[in-house]
Structure 1
């Protein structure tokens, strides 16, 4: 192999194919036509004398040689993004990029609207994409660049990730507006006897909830575990006897639609932090640094913002 004959722009083509496993999506990420992307991929194949990516039921899968090259090429691309490109001027107003955020459906409902509004005002050509993935997959997703930030409260976040606290969550209990048994307050007897909906994002109930209830000797009559926050008010509308304890910001959004109302739980639950998390590989990436700053600024005055 002769390096003087190699077009180093092809490294970005290899990198995009590793991320997207699709010629069409990789072309879109690089701003190329599909024809130009196919031509660049063929040049890579000719140079390395290997197909590099072959079509399978899971998309364009890397060959053994491509997998052997992947780590080195990713290191080169990371160095370019974090050490070389930051030296150039960075203008959010002219940036054209899609940022990918990992968050729950609660995050989409409560936190995404103000962030979208902020992004449109300072970086009108940028777009957002959201993902909801299991916690064990988060580190690899952030390391690969397939996701830029994780927004949420993660009790078991990988230690390798950087994090920054945004604000503290409080908790309240919500009941159906059709529930006539509960007044402005919820007694301990009502709380323990009424069937409850619990959100279990990781397949188990929240340790924040459990430890607080246990310290006060409270037992919950959990009727349903669900990984989705947004189903709760709809279920309560159909089954008015159900109650749920959720973050206060989410409860306030729900109550605007007239399906549920907010009451205080019989005990005071400790708040917990909502943070943003990112991978060390992209700690100095200028676009990700800017995105983190934007997120922090957006929620500096939370919850005193319109969601």
Structure 2
């Protein structure tokens, strides 16, 4: 089945090229200035996209598959061309940039002020529109109607809201984790002759 390139995060190809160079998740992560876990997640997405393991562990270390080896020169050429294209851009800050954000209410209250300040510092004339995160927000990101989404996901492996269940072509980053805690007031009971317990 043919896959649309529009659904592939091109940053994954940069990760793939570094993995081919370094033959190590940890070394590639260091060059990208991310955690090894982030590189491992990117590799999982690449494996799913190309339907190939791409790299296998051998007694001599990390070894690329024949498919990965066949892409090495093409990746190098593509990255060189990308660098040349980026070098052609001007220094002027573009006008009329629009940011469509989808945020859950708690995150909207705690994060939006700082986030909007950072946007306006870099793009003074930007237009920022915020939508409440809802059941359709993932599809809105896929359709290109929302640029960035901020939402909570669950860590339980059987949860339908697990991070691992996000579509593989959506790039994400865990900003922070939270653990709900319940506090209970300790109650001491005393026994009455009637056979019942009452709090002291």
What TM-score, normalized by structure 2, do the two folds share?
0.41
> Relative to total residues, which structure has the larger strand share, 1 or 2?
1
| TM-score of the aligned structures, taking structure 1 as reference length | 0.27
